[in-house]
Structure 1
């Protein structure tokens, strides 16, 4: 198992020695600065940070409630009936429990068509703790039986801290994220990670620039992908230009994603890079946007993470 520890102070490499097949001897060594530090301490660190952020959010929420209180100290009662019709309000509340998490699209190519489905759902009312799930399918539509080459199953639990009045809009604390292709034997691929993601937004008169930076710590690498962090580094950067051509093309969006490889995220030759563009044509009553995607590099599929790929795709963004 290899791991990369990312944080506010340093990066360090995790080396693991497995001396027996039955797992009776297992040692962890951090090199060069954290020798002897076990991975459970890192998990404890993220748990502590999570609860500190939760307490801070709760304190801020209580402060907002106190500001809204009446002069006599009475807090106004919030009614669940927004429209005055019980059935409609209950139905709306049920319909507003699942939201889109990452882009949802169907992108055709030969040999590999790519389908991505993703959602998130809040776990507690009025508390920004979420469960997210993303599934990416790589589909050989050009073959007779149309088999799936691989799929990535990606559940996660994360906490979102909303920041008001700043270019930094939200801060996501990924408590636990898992990626696996669901296969066994020599085709098995999986790893876990925890992360911090900074989400920014900058507005001009006619369009928006959205940017995010994700810093990750990878652990629990599967035996069959011990070197996966050579191809998927500890950081990922995403940049979006929204409403690029206002007045010409409706809701156009240009996206750029980069995840350099290497233990420190400095090996640009082994990373993965994606460019996408989506748009809607004015006057065409089609809800999905037209979608174009180009990927080059490593790590798009878990099964072939160490093989370089170049894929052009087109389809629909939902």
Structure 2
């Protein structure tokens, strides 16, 4: 498949014409895990941060929340809640959510029924701090029927009792709170330079370290990758067009562990500049959505002489996503490339790597991640890479990261050996980002 620069520029213009979307949504809801706690006891404040917008959401959870306690007379007491579980920087993909938690100690001067407010948010919670045997909330059952409170306003009478079948069909849960206020800002308001940098940097390609013994030799392959948002959105929930420009950097190395000096076989350095939006369009039920990335990338191995390799290409990458009700996302993302200015060291690179990276990925929420990459060159030249990852927190190790397995066969495992075919390569290791 050959794509000229003229045709590629046409695709860029077409993609630019399609860059538009409806309003982005996102929010955070808080709840108290306990309905009753006495002074001096610890309560858990949990939050669900959801992203119903059209870009991945970068969020830094505050280490402390200021909690207001008010009794029936409105007298306030303020205390701190402390973030549980360490670091609070998270990335929330489109149409998904994450959970956060803080712990707070009930102040010693708090008594009776309390209205609890997370300062700076419209959230209002309730906690009964009376002794359990005297508690009107936690110690007494609500043996009364459910009424239709709206009917009295219309008919001018007392609230009628709802039929049993209506109440059962409602399926109300005590664990579900009101819809969040969409106007709540999702990003840290800190002006500290490091916090701004931390909020602008995020994962890009997978990050892993794998090793294996193949064809009588032991080697390792590892990769680091990140992207940096060039402009800070004024509204993180609904960024402007210019806020979707990124600098990307990926570095992939193949390390020979069998040779005496353990040399690196080759390393690819891949800086890039691109525009990316995770969701341009949603289906009516929002289970399917279309994203787009487009930009330019350079790849070279930093060597000179006969071992020097370098390529440049522009690309456009539509991303077709389907979100399953069970909590997994399937993504098909073909990366269509047009090469330019690659020099005379590897003029036939496209004959081996082709013009399209065919990518397929399935990721369960907090579960299995499967991904595949296929490239088709000319004259039957091709390469296949398949990866699987499983979160180590869901094993007896209970540690961060993922167990990572990688399979590769074909051309282009390194840019130095882009025209050399390798047999099946199996490696196992640790992935930070699968």
- Using the size of structure 1 for normalisation, the TM-score is 0.70
8 Å contact 2:220–2:254 — kept in the other structure? Answer: yes
For 1:1-318, what aligned pairs fall within 5 Å after superposition? 4-5=2-3, 52=16, 86=190, 92-110=195-213, 111-126=218-233, 127-161=243-277, 162-166=279-283, 167-174=288-295, 176-206=296-326, 207-243=328-364, 251-262=367-378, 267=379, 269-281=380-392, 282=394, 283-309=396-422, 310-318=424-432
1:44–1:270 distance in 2 versus 1, CA, 3 Å: closer
More displaced 10-residue stretch of structure 1: 216-225 or 100-109: 216-225
1:237–1:224 distance in 2 versus 1, CA, 3 Å: same
CA distance in 2 between counterparts of 1:128 and 1:139 reads 35
CA distance in 2 between counterparts of 1:149 and 1:108 reads 14
- Which entry has the higher C-alpha Rg, 1 or 2? 2
8 Å contact 1:272–1:296 — kept in the other structure? Answer: yes
SS in structure 1 at match of 2:244: strand
- For residues 261-311 of structure 1, the C-alpha deviation after alignment (integer angstroms, 9 at most, x for no partner) is 13xxxx5x3111011111124243210100000000001211111111131
1:222 to partner: Cα distance: 2.9
CA distance in 2 between counterparts of 1:256 and 1:296 reads 12
Q: Runs of 4 or more off by more than 4 Å in structure 1?
A: 41-50, 77-83
- For residues 194-240 of structure 1, the C-alpha deviation after alignment (integer angstroms, 9 at most, x for no partner) is 01101121122323212211111012223121111111111111111
SS in structure 2 at match of 1:149: strand
SS in structure 1 at match of 2:302: coil
8 Å contact 1:4–1:218 — kept in the other structure? Answer: no
CA distance in 2 between counterparts of 1:209 and 1:184 reads 41
Which protein, 1 or 2, shows the higher relative CO under an 8 Å CA cutoff with sep ≥ 6? Answer: 1
- Using the size of structure 2 for normalisation, the TM-score is 0.52
CA distance in 1 between counterparts of 2:269 and 2:254 reads 12
8 Å contact 2:200–2:230 — kept in the other structure? Answer: no
1:223–1:91 distance in 2 versus 1, CA, 3 Å: closer
1:253 to partner: Cα distance: 1.1
1:153 to partner: Cα distance: 0.6
SS in structure 2 at match of 1:109: strand
5+ residue gaps, structure 2, are 24-182, 234-242
CA distance in 1 between counterparts of 2:311 and 2:302 reads 11
8 Å contact 2:211–2:220 — kept in the other structure? Answer: yes
More displaced 10-residue stretch of structure 1: 293-302 or 198-207: 198-207
8 Å contact 1:289–1:316 — kept in the other structure? Answer: yes
Partner residue, 2:155: none
CA distance in 2 between counterparts of 1:177 and 1:289 reads 28
1:241 to partner: Cα distance: 2.0
8 Å contact 1:252–1:278 — kept in the other structure? Answer: yes
1:90–1:186 distance in 2 versus 1, CA, 3 Å: closer
CA distance in 2 between counterparts of 1:47 and 1:164 reads 18
- For residues 50-96 of structure 1, the C-alpha deviation after alignment (integer angstroms, 9 at most, x for no partner) is 8x459x55x978xxxxxxxxxxxxxxx9989957xx57x76543321
Coordinate RMSD, CA, aligned: 2.9
5+ residue gaps, structure 1, are 6-11, 13-38, 62-76
CA distance in 2 between counterparts of 1:228 and 1:44 reads 21
